[in-house]
Structure 1
Amino acid sequence: MLDTVAEAPMGAQGTGVSAAAYRLATRHSARVRFLKVALPVAAIIVAVVFVIVSIVRTYLPTELQVESASIEDGKIVMRNPAISGRNNDGISYSMKAERALQDMKQPDVLTLENIKAKVPVNESTIAEVVAATGVYDRGKNLLDMIAPFTISLNTGLEAAFRSAHLDIDGGNMSTQEPVSIRSREASIVAQSLRMTDKGRIVVFEGKVVVDVDPAAIRNREK
């Protein structure tokens, strides 16, 4: 639409603004308005990392409850592992899985199946995580979500992934499969995603589709 803007008329003293300059200024203004809405939506990726790290750090303390345990095909199989409690700020968290599998030949590698968790992101934000399968390597401090998972915040933000790889020590997260992030004001869908520097840099790659509610832009400009 902006490419169809006609050349601006000349002023009374012969000065004028070219169509190219006008389009550039208009695009810049639209870009700023867009970022006011899109960036808060993209910020959920940072929350996703902290949620996953919370799962990793709190899922295997001494107070972990297991319904039963057995050895099958060289693996320790723990059924219905669960944990609940409060973090240092007194906010409740709870996590459970259908099974936890630990390979006796690789004791640092733990596979969790059908995970459901509610963990705090901060004092006012709670995240609910539903994941099919997660593989955590305690030795390398790596977490691979090898099946679809979703994260929903009580603020209305939702993120859906098909898979993801998280380097906890490096503060990096990536996925080579489509990701969808939505809020009440905007949504972002991308073919892949890279996050580095502990969430300070988020790059959406491939075909990226962004939808922003015009009312959200107007409200932020008031």
Structure 2
Amino acid sequence: MTDAPTGAPGMGVSAEAYRLARRHSARVRFFKVALPAAALVIGAIFAVVSFVRTYLPSDLHVESASIEDGKIVMQSPAIAGRNKDGISYSMKAERALQDIKQPDVITLENITAQMPVNESTVAEVIAKTGIYDRGGNLLDMVAPFTINLNTGLKAAFQSAHLDINGGTLTSDQPVSIHSRAASIVAQSLRMTDKGHVIVFEGKVVVDVDPAAIRNKEQ
């Protein structure tokens, strides 16, 4: 009969089994700290997408509009207000472009948005370019963008593709997520099941504050 790997080496447990058990325990503790942070980032992205889908382009306040190269070009589009919970939201961009032949395709340039993720969490999104297809419910972030939460969490993406209906997000370029408790840096990311499954791939580097692990276990 093999003893459960709960003691130290030399008490009926091999050194290898003990090492594997400790490593597994460390992974579990890491996931308890780091993955909630990643899930908040995903939630922030979906909050912005939901906002864009609801309000663009009909409720935009714009300084001026013109037609250039077959596109309606709106200068300094902006929206602000409060959601049903009374939490403020806002979004502004340098330009919004709507294709006349494909009116469901909207491109936003130099975007700054502040969106509530939940009752206590607000996300600031800063992005160079986002292309939203309302017909397919798809969002392509084709240039670097960052997400900063009021909890202290920060995330940086080089690009990302979101399928809203399918509940997936993919990025095949480096991603970094940093919070006070943990950080994750990876070469790519895949999210499925509306954020319930998150896979970091490539050269994944993780760092967790030991104090955060201790606090999580209390």
What TM-score, normalized to structure 1? 0.89
Judge which range, 18-27 or 86-95, deviates more.
18-27
Judge which range, 27-36 or 96-105, deviates more.
27-36
Give the C-alpha shift of residue 56 in structure 1: 1.9
Q: Paired residue for 1:27?
A: 23
Asked if residue 208 in structure 1 is aligned to residue 204 in structure 2, the reply is: yes
* Cα deviation 1:64-101 (Å, max 9, x = unaligned): 21100011122111000111111122211111110011
Give the unaligned 5+ runs of structure 2. 1-7
CA distance in 2, matches of 1:63, 1:109: 16
Contact preservation (8 Å) 1:190, 1:208: yes
Asked if residue 174 in structure 1 is aligned to residue 170 in structure 2, the reply is: yes
**Quick check: which has more Rg, 1 or 2?**
1
CA distance in 2, matches of 1:207, 1:135: 28
Q: Paired residue for 1:52?
A: 48
Please state whether the residue corresponding to 1:93 is helix, strand or coil: strand
Asked if residue 37 in structure 1 is aligned to residue 33 in structure 2, the reply is: yes
CA distance in 2, matches of 1:90, 1:178: 36
Please state whether the residue corresponding to 1:96 is helix, strand or coil: strand
Asked if residue 9 in structure 1 is aligned to residue 10 in structure 2, the reply is: yes
Asked if residue 67 in structure 1 is aligned to residue 63 in structure 2, the reply is: yes
CA distance in 2, matches of 1:74, 1:33: 54
Percent identity between matched residues is: 76
The one-letter code matched in structure 1 to 2:86 is: G
CA distance in 2, matches of 1:151, 1:9: 48
Alignment equivalent of 1:132, drawn from 128, 132, 135: 128
The one-letter code matched in structure 1 to 2:18 is: Y
Alignment equivalent of 2:104, drawn from 95, 105, 108: 108
Q: Paired residue for 1:79?
A: 75
Q: Any runs of at least 4 consecutive aligned residues in structure 1 with deviations exceeding 6 A, and if so which?
A: none
- Alignment CA distance shift 1:118-1:100 (3 Å): same
Contact preservation (8 Å) 1:54, 1:119: no
Query: What is the root-mean-square deviation in Å for CA atoms of aligned residues?
Result: 1.7
Judge which range, 31-40 or 167-176, deviates more.
31-40
Give the unaligned 5+ runs of structure 1. 1-6, 11-15
Alignment equivalent of 2:155, drawn from 127, 140, 159: 159
CA distance in 2, matches of 1:53, 1:103: 19
CA distance in 2, matches of 1:63, 1:101: 15
